[in-house]
Amino acid sequence: MLQENSIKLSVSYAIASRVRDYFMMMKFTLTFMVVFSCVVAYLLAPGVKFELLKVLLLFAGGILVSGSANTINQILEKDTDKLMARTATRPIPAGRLSVSEASIVALVTGLAGIAILGFGFNWLAAGVSLASLVLYGFVYTPWKKWNSLAVLVGAIPGALPPLIGWVAGANSFSEGGWALFAIQFLWQFPHFWAIAWVAHTDYTRAGFKLMPTDRGPGKVIALQSAMYAMLLIPAGIAPYLLKITGPISAVVAILIGGFYLYRAIELYRKCDVPSARKLMFGSYIYLAVILLGLLFDKVNL
């Protein structure tokens, strides 16, 4: 009896450990945040009302597609991940998962996510999600070793989730979807450069070229971050001007955009890692607040 219980505990632990590795490989926490923007954009689309089943389907489809892209990223970067302290413990470089197993996970989750979006919503949204997966997994990922334009390339699939959500609700590439795409596109530059600033040593050791200058962290990068943060203020007002949201959302966009710009200016002033880290965390606050502000002030919610 004792031996049987011991076997059951071992099996349970092995299953839990494998599930935890899958979650880590698919970057579930980051994926959840990305898919949140997709769901908000879907609910902002004209004529869309909140339906729990639809929201859950969109979450499932988005998480599976995004998780597949992240898995492909980790398969292709397994050797460089071993060189960086923050990624060396990931399942593939640490040897807990094989490349073949990870490839099966990427294929199954990618196909399942696209199918959910296609059958549950429309095939236009499914097509955009497929494009996002391919751009992130097979274009952005290898590009990081070539030159710093990888940040620009990666910003495209990074900004596609809100467009996917909008298309899932509206079944068209209308201007509202592009306005939401623009917000998330511009948001990524200060966000990603702040991360690259904090992890500069690790990224350099791995051979990634993610800074827009060969001199590394400095005034030039901080100034560019501030410029993109400044552009986010009119971009955040655009949904109001397009009559997707009300005036409260415009006020929220100005206030939270000002906060994000302040963080970027502080990085320009101080040019240090603590300021970069504050900008990085400030970027998460910005995205959450602007999305919630837009959603709660939707016209004809």
Confidence category of residue 300, pLDDT binned at 50, 70, 90: low
pTM recorded for the entire structure: 0.91
Confidence category of residue 176, pLDDT binned at 50, 70, 90: very high
pLDDT of residue 3: 56
Question: How far, CA to CA in Å, does 58 sit from each of 36, 96, 163, 166?
Answer: 10, 30, 13, 11
CA distance 30 to 74: 14
Quote the tokens at residue 249.
């959302």
Confidence category of residue 19, pLDDT binned at 50, 70, 90: confident
Contact call for residues 128 and 167 (beta carbons, < 8 A): yes
More reliable by pLDDT, 205 or 155: 155
More reliable by pLDDT, 84 or 155: 155
Q: What is the mean pLDDT of residues 124-149?
A: 92
Nearest to 228 by CA among 159, 140, 141: 159
Q: What is the 3-state secondary structure (H, E, C) of 22-82?
A: HHHHCCHHHHHHHHHHHHHHHHHCCCCCCCHHHHHHHHHHHHHHHHHHHHHHHHHCHHHHC
27 pLDDT above the threshold of 90: no
Mean pLDDT score across all residues of the chain: 90
User: pLDDT tens-digit profile of 208-225?
Assistant: 877 777 777 889 999 999
Question: How far, CA to CA in Å, does 208 sit from each of 12, 84, 276?
Answer: 39, 11, 18
pLDDT of residue 148: 79
What's phi and psi for 102, nearest 5 deg?
-65, -35
